[in-house]
Structure 1
């Protein structure tokens, strides 16, 4: 077979319904010269039905756990010079592939917009309201903080091989894109490169997300005594940040009515206090 122009790499673990939705959305794109790889992290639920439904997609099993290992395996399985990363629970816009091709020559790493949608009927829960206001601000990540996520990422094989693969056990998006930028590679944001991601529907799902992120961010922070002191100081800033961000929730046009705004506000304070507790435990050398 001829070498494809680009490869779409999708890490997956035990979420076949959302994966099918992701693949359906990609089928609405122009996929000429594009290799689609689903890298499954050895899910207990087999993807037999999805393989039959999407015969043009290549399905690969990676037994090493974690999205980092899955993405690395996907890159190894294709020779395509362009690499497009999307997550299995994301929904690509109908022109996502075309926009990825268009953006690829403009920079070494391109991150796009990630919109949030709800999978449950209104009104929003506190978790959904919080995510509607705060989740996936990729423009801020890229243009202010200097990193991007890998759920909507365009890069090249040349860049990937020079930077090295994603690393598990840390905030892999932050780690990989920071390494790339430190090597002098150009990172930009593209508003027209769009995917959508479902909001976390309840406190348990939101808590799980931020527990994982807090663990990963501590891995990037460092573990020396000085690093721990800095982490503790960041922990004490969490409640203050809730007060600072409260007007953003109350004034958000994304939230409908006082019920959603009050639920979002309550979740904001609950989450920031929870993160403070986790971070202080980490600073003290405890597992969370």
Structure 2
């Protein structure tokens, strides 16, 4: 059972950026209420959604709702931190569902590193069988262990850090892959980043090709901003783009051997989506390197 928010000086703050998705936000908050929220301030920072949050506000009177008119999750997260005084900061996205022990585990492991990214499982919001997009996401989406231990960054959909770290390196930057840039900036400043499998949240899979395509278009745009626009950087981007179809071949065995897919049909749809997406990304990346838009 949850504990009422009564401490005037919270130890922990949960920062949730939100835009125009009240049902998923409500699902996130209900899951948070299954946690031990003693001495915890939960802050929803809404990016001036066109839909009303009045019903959600009434359902969760102990949650603080703040409006940030500057668009983007980076601005929302920064505003959330500025509105709190807690020294321990939990970041989660509004469409994520935290495990019932998410906060408890976070408190237990908080001293292990300066930044801790956790596990993000994928679940479907539609009944089976899975679409190609859902099957692809079941295999490939949100590999936070690889992000952290191989690539050196974490997403902010499941991230724990401290206020002194945030104050030292500054806030998230809008217009780039803000969580990747922020965590990499922290690591470059000497702060430690680790993966913790017990720190668990879940995220819905993209339902169809348009949703998956939109996700990867945004991701490709943000990644190019981090890549740089100089000649050498653009040449590297061309090579990465040209390698995309080959990477689909390399990753096909991962799909075929995955225990997350329930049928041969799901395997076939996942492989088809894998090749379709990697070829699409190649086209986007070559356009970017040539100075175009995607």
TM-score above 0.5, yes or no = yes
- Secondary structure of the residue aligned to 1:196 is strand
- 2:201 matched residue in structure 1: 195
> Does residue 6 of the first structure (1) align with residue 6 of the second (2)?
no
- 1:206 matched residue in structure 2: 212
Offset at residue 79 of structure 1 (A): 0.5
- 2:106 matched residue in structure 1: 100
Cα distance in 1, alignment partners of residues 235 and 259 from structure 2? 38
The TM-score with structure 1 as length reference comes to 0.99
- The Cα offsets for residues 215-238 of structure 1, whole Å up to 9 and x where unpaired, read as 000000000111111100000000
- The Cα offsets for residues 244-286 of structure 1, whole Å up to 9 and x where unpaired, read as 0001111111001110000000000000000000000000000
Offset at residue 95 of structure 1 (A): 0.2
- Secondary structure of the residue aligned to 2:150 is helix
- 1:244 matched residue in structure 2: 250
CA-based RMSD? 0.6
- 1:160 matched residue in structure 2: 166
- Secondary structure of the residue aligned to 1:228 is helix
Cα distance in 1, alignment partners of residues 150 and 179 from structure 2? 15
Offset at residue 2 of structure 1 (A): 2.5
Match among 17, 27, 31 for residue 25 of structure 1: 31
Q: How does 1:80-229 map to 2 (within 5 A)?
A: 80-229=86-235
- Secondary structure of the residue aligned to 2:122 is strand
Offset at residue 174 of structure 1 (A): 1.0
**What 5-or-longer segments of structure 2 have no aligned partner?**
1-6
- 1:64 matched residue in structure 2: 70
The TM-score with structure 2 as length reference comes to 0.97
Offset at residue 105 of structure 1 (A): 1.1
- Secondary structure of the residue aligned to 1:146 is coil
> Does residue 276 of the first structure (1) align with residue 282 of the second (2)?
yes
Cα distance in 2, alignment partners of residues 153 and 80 from structure 1? 15
**What 5-or-longer segments of structure 1 have no aligned partner?**
none
Match among 262, 265, 273 for residue 271 of structure 2: 265
Which stretches of structure 1, 4 residues or longer, exceed 3 Å deviation after superposition? none
Offset at residue 104 of structure 1 (A): 1.0
Cα distance in 1, alignment partners of residues 10 and 116 from structure 2? 20
- 2:4 matched residue in structure 1: none
Cα distance in 1, alignment partners of residues 122 and 201 from structure 2? 9
